[in-house]
A and B are shown apart, each in its own frame.
Chain A
Amino acid sequence: MMNKRMNKPILDVSGLTMNFGGIRALDHLDFEVQAKEIVALIGPNGAGKTTLFNCLTGIYQPSSGEIHLACPQSGKQTRLNDLKPNKITEKGMARTFQNIRLFSQMTVLENVMIGRHCRTHSLILGAIFRDRKTREEEQETVNKSCEILEKVGLSGQVNELAGNLSYGAQRRLEIARALATEPFLLLLDEPAAGMNPQETADLVALIRQIRDEGHAILLIEHDMKLVMTLSDRIVVMDYGKKIAQGTPAEIRINREVIKAYLGEDGG
């Protein structure tokens, strides 16, 4: 524990509040994510988990509070509050969506190539003249995308339209697309939703592998077995507030958590 506390967190959220008119979806939320750590975010439906992701990635502007992201290599810290979503992705944080948002009329490979967009540069002139630099960049985009697709196990379907993939494959493609942006922090919103046990097991292996390659992961999930086996730390939310945080063993016996999940009488 001591060791962890001395490291600077790569994601530092403090006092984050988000109001939708009268509804307070996030209420003074504080938490942090360390480098190469798997943190799970759990809580009943409507607790505000997805809203939190949307605030972190710049899709919503939080009403108040601070979000800071620090690159683990350079240690440079940036405030994310007023940045646009694409800038935030450029800084090194990528996400998947709870309700799959693939580019369904584009091929699997093209979806991943879109993820490479923020790491490449060619524009109009490069596209028209196709000079050597552009060709090399394009080839590199294809190569890296294929590598990532191999990693998530979709290399057999590169030319398939993304919309034609099975549900589980679409979830994995979303992860591949996010990985293509070279993030050091990956946000996964219910990646196992709708998967069968075999697919879930594959997913667990994949997430472990991604972590071992040096990415930190913040994960929203309802599958308790998955959360308990995978995560280093768990943050529990209810009604927009953090009600507990700790290791899986600590969370399992936490009275507040049991109460939130089972209702008032449950504890």
Chain B
Amino acid sequence: MITVKELTPINGISAFRRLFSCKKNKKIICKALKRSLLVSLWFVFLTFPIMVIKVNPIERTVSWRWGNIFYVAIGSFVISLLAKAWLVRKERSAARQASCSVRASIIQDLLNRPGCRYPLVVLLLGVALLFPHIFSTYQANIMTTALMYIVLGLGLNLVVGVAGLLDLGYVAFYAIGAYSYALLNLHFHLGFWVALPIGGLLAALFGVLLGFPVLRLRGDYLAIVTLGFGEILRLILENWNAFSRGPSGISNIPRPGFFGLEMSLDHAMIYMYYLMIGLVLLTIFMVNRLQDSRLGRAWLALREDEIACQAMGIDKTRIKLIAFSLGAFWAGLIGVVFAAKTTFVNPASFTFLESAIILAIVVLGGMGSIVGVICGALILILLPEYLRALSEYRMLAFGAILVAMMIFKPEGLIAGVRRTYCFQGRKNAAALQDDE
């Protein structure tokens, strides 16, 4: 375990002084400075045509914005230096921690400390429960969306993060959930609470159906086929008018009922929020238990080494199918919630972009880590909502963030930690350390 001292960020100035104190460090820093200088020169050169020269085709004039050079140079210099510093620090901490058994992030460490765990959870829960009363209904509505993506992320995390199956067509199962509620309501007038489990189970069933033919594929091939599946499903929904009403979609889907009570729009939104809080808690509970079980271990083993996994007696087809259908189950559930929340579904809501966002949540948050996925969802969904200026560059930002993650923190913001057991030597003395 990591001690507290190592976890608290060191004071910047003293750290710098310490950095300069030895000769080896000086050498590294000089090298880094030189490199960053080169990088910034290169950037200035590359961005010269777009940052400096401005052609005005109407007035037929060319203006030279020399000032921009400085911004580009300084910006790229600083970023390059920061990147280098991060890499060096990471290398050092990796060397330092090679001897220590299990690495934990700050949040994970706090959660695992018995004294911190309960107050922290109670605090979070309190904030979550009071949220719609403290802030406006509009805020609660945005939060509901974020909560939906948390569940989607946790579901996909089982498939991608834990079992290591790259699924790019996850949105298909989301669509199946949404459309199953919309259609069941349209034709049979089924209510939300009946449709919820049906949507989930239907999606799970499709997960198995898709799984059978494709699960012999691995890595990139699996990704391409699932991507295709997602697109095919969307195209079917778009073109099979008799079945799905095509691009115009299905409207007037009722919101979830509460014992037949009539609710105003405001109340319905707040009700939706609490419903999602409940679903999130249920999902966390279930996913946590699944990960920490015979099945969860088998998934991890599958992610690490398929051949060794089989040689140890694990039926890989079976556990892959289970992972696939369980992940699809949660997508289906949230699909139903989505249809009820927006009261309208059409195929445009289920494009590849959705799959990409959910996947980004998992990768950014930390593959296989529940806390990580929650953080990832909150960051990726709430940030564009609150930073409207940024939302235009959303895809650009996604790309940049993901590339940065690959370089600096491939394990995600908050990496999953392995469960530890206390072992007391002699026979039968190993006790299960309880997690709850």
Contacts and interface: CB of A to CB of B under 8 A. Distances in A.
A244 interface: no
A143 interface: yes
A89 B314 CA distance: 9
A13 B215 CA distance: 32
Contacts of A19: none
B385 interface: no
Nearest to B285: A128
A262 interface: no
A142 B432 contact: yes
Interface in B273-318: 286, 289-290, 293-298, 300-301, 304-305, 307-316
A259 interface: no
B300 A103 contact: yes
Interface residues of A, number: 54
B102 A161 contact: yes
Contacts of A124: 290, 295, 322, 326
Size class of the contact patch on chain B: 35 or more
Interface in B208-263: none
Interface in A117-139: 117-120, 122-124, 126-128, 130, 134, 137-139
Contacts of A101: 305, 307-308, 311
B56 interface: no
B391 to A, nearest CB: 36
B425 interface: yes
A123 B298 CA distance: 11
A57 to B, nearest CB: 6
Interface stretch (B29-37, B334-342, B415-423): B415-423
A155 B311 contact: no
B297 A89 contact: no
Interface stretch (A4-12, A90-98, A197-205): A90-98
Nearest to A141: B294
B102 A89 contact: no
B312 A127 contact: no
A21 to B, nearest CB: 21
Contact of B427 (A109, A142, A147): A147
A107 B418 contact: yes
B98 interface: yes
B101 interface: yes
